Protein backbone atom coordinates (compact mmCIF):
# COMPACT_ATOMS: atom_id res chain seq x y z
CA UNK A 1 0.00 0.00 0.00
CA UNK A 2 1.10 3.53 -0.77
CA UNK A 3 -0.05 7.00 0.18
CA UNK A 4 -0.16 8.78 -3.17
CA UNK A 5 0.14 12.57 -2.89
CA UNK A 6 -0.28 14.76 -5.95
CA UNK A 7 -0.27 18.55 -6.14
CA UNK A 8 -1.81 19.78 -9.39
CA UNK A 9 -1.22 23.34 -10.49
CA UNK A 10 -4.41 23.26 -12.55
CA UNK A 11 -7.47 22.73 -10.34
CA UNK A 12 -9.67 22.33 -13.43
CA UNK A 13 -7.92 19.01 -14.18
CA UNK A 14 -8.96 17.32 -10.93
CA UNK A 15 -12.33 15.97 -12.15
CA UNK A 16 -10.71 14.24 -15.13
CA UNK A 17 -7.96 12.85 -12.91
CA UNK A 18 -10.61 11.42 -10.56
CA UNK A 19 -12.44 9.84 -13.50
CA UNK A 20 -9.16 8.27 -14.65
CA UNK A 21 -8.47 6.99 -11.14
CA UNK A 22 -11.85 5.27 -11.07
CA UNK A 23 -11.09 3.59 -14.40
CA UNK A 24 -7.84 2.10 -13.10
CA UNK A 25 -9.37 0.93 -9.82
CA UNK A 26 -8.43 3.59 -7.29
CA UNK A 27 -11.10 3.28 -4.60
CA UNK A 28 -11.12 6.87 -3.34
CA UNK A 29 -9.23 10.10 -2.86
CA UNK A 30 -9.36 13.23 -0.75
CA UNK A 31 -8.90 16.55 -2.51
CA UNK A 32 -8.02 19.79 -0.75
CA UNK A 33 -7.38 23.29 -2.04
CA UNK A 34 -3.79 24.39 -1.49
CA UNK A 35 -1.34 27.21 -2.20
CA UNK A 36 2.33 26.89 -2.98
CA UNK A 37 5.28 28.67 -1.48
CA UNK A 38 5.91 30.68 -4.66
CA UNK A 39 2.47 32.28 -4.47
CA UNK A 40 2.89 33.25 -0.83
CA UNK A 41 6.42 34.61 -1.18
CA UNK A 42 5.89 36.51 -4.42
CA UNK A 43 2.61 38.23 -3.52
CA UNK A 44 1.73 37.87 0.13
CA UNK A 45 5.03 38.89 1.75
CA UNK A 46 6.03 42.38 0.53
CA UNK A 47 9.70 42.01 1.44
CA UNK A 48 10.00 39.19 -1.12
CA UNK A 49 8.22 41.09 -3.91
CA UNK A 50 11.48 41.30 -5.85
CA UNK A 51 11.43 37.51 -6.20
CA UNK A 52 8.16 37.61 -8.16
CA UNK A 53 9.86 36.64 -11.44
CA UNK A 54 11.57 33.73 -9.72
CA UNK A 55 8.15 32.15 -9.11
CA UNK A 56 6.57 32.99 -12.46
CA UNK A 57 4.70 29.69 -12.61
CA UNK A 58 3.08 30.19 -9.21
CA UNK A 59 -0.66 29.68 -9.50
CA UNK A 60 -3.41 31.36 -7.55
CA UNK A 61 -4.55 27.95 -6.30
CA UNK A 62 -3.59 24.31 -6.49
CA UNK A 63 -5.32 21.11 -5.49
CA UNK A 64 -3.69 18.38 -3.45
CA UNK A 65 -4.92 14.83 -3.94
CA UNK A 66 -4.37 12.19 -1.24
CA UNK A 67 -5.12 8.56 -2.00
CA UNK A 68 -4.20 5.27 -0.35
CA UNK A 69 -3.77 2.72 -3.12
CA UNK A 70 -2.19 -0.60 -3.90
CA UNK A 71 1.46 -0.22 -4.86
CA UNK A 72 0.64 -1.83 -8.20
CA UNK A 73 -1.59 1.17 -9.10
CA UNK A 74 0.98 3.92 -8.51
CA UNK A 75 2.53 3.94 -12.00
CA UNK A 76 -0.92 3.87 -13.61
CA UNK A 77 -2.07 6.75 -11.39
CA UNK A 78 0.95 8.82 -12.43
CA UNK A 79 0.19 8.03 -16.08
CA UNK A 80 -3.41 9.24 -15.57
CA UNK A 81 -2.20 12.50 -14.01
CA UNK A 82 0.20 13.14 -16.88
CA UNK A 83 -2.31 12.24 -19.59
CA UNK A 84 -5.04 14.45 -18.15
CA UNK A 85 -2.91 17.31 -16.83
CA UNK A 86 0.56 17.44 -18.40
CA UNK A 87 3.98 15.95 -17.93
CA UNK A 88 5.22 16.44 -14.40
CA UNK A 89 8.65 17.03 -15.90
CA UNK A 90 7.46 20.45 -17.12
CA UNK A 91 8.20 23.42 -14.84
CA UNK A 92 5.32 24.48 -12.56
CA UNK A 93 3.22 21.46 -13.50
CA UNK A 94 2.89 19.87 -10.08
CA UNK A 95 4.41 17.09 -8.04
CA UNK A 96 3.66 13.47 -7.17
CA UNK A 97 5.21 11.42 -4.41
CA UNK A 98 4.33 8.28 -2.50
CA UNK A 99 4.96 7.02 0.99
CA UNK A 100 4.68 3.43 2.17
CA UNK A 101 1.62 2.68 4.29
CA UNK A 102 2.00 0.02 6.93
CA UNK A 103 -1.62 -0.23 8.01
CA UNK A 104 -4.97 0.94 6.74
CA UNK A 105 -8.32 0.72 8.47
CA UNK A 106 -11.61 2.18 7.33
CA UNK A 107 -11.15 1.89 3.59
CA UNK A 108 -13.17 -0.80 1.87
CA UNK A 109 -11.82 -2.54 -1.19
CA UNK A 110 -8.15 -1.69 -0.60
Please name each of the domains of the chain with its CATH number: 2-100 (3.30.70.120)
pLDDT at 60 (0 to 100) = 64
Please provide the average confidence, as pLDDT, over all residues in the chain.
Answer: 83
Q: What are the contacts of 14-21 at 24+ separation with CB within 8 A?
A: 14/63, 14/65, 16/84, 17/65, 17/80, 17/81, 17/84, 17/85, 20/80, 20/81, 20/83, 20/84, 21/67, 21/77, 21/80
Apex CA 18: angle with CA 1 and CA 61, to 5°? Answer: 105
Q: pLDDT tens for residues 46-91?
A: 555 555 555 455 456 899 999 999 999 999 999 999 999 888 888 7
Assessment of whether the complete model's pTM goes beyond 0.95: no
- Provide φ and ψ at 105, rounded to 5°: -140, 135
Amino acid sequence: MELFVCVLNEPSAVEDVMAGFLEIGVAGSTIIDSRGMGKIISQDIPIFGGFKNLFEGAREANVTIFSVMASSLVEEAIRVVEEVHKSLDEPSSGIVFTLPVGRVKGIGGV
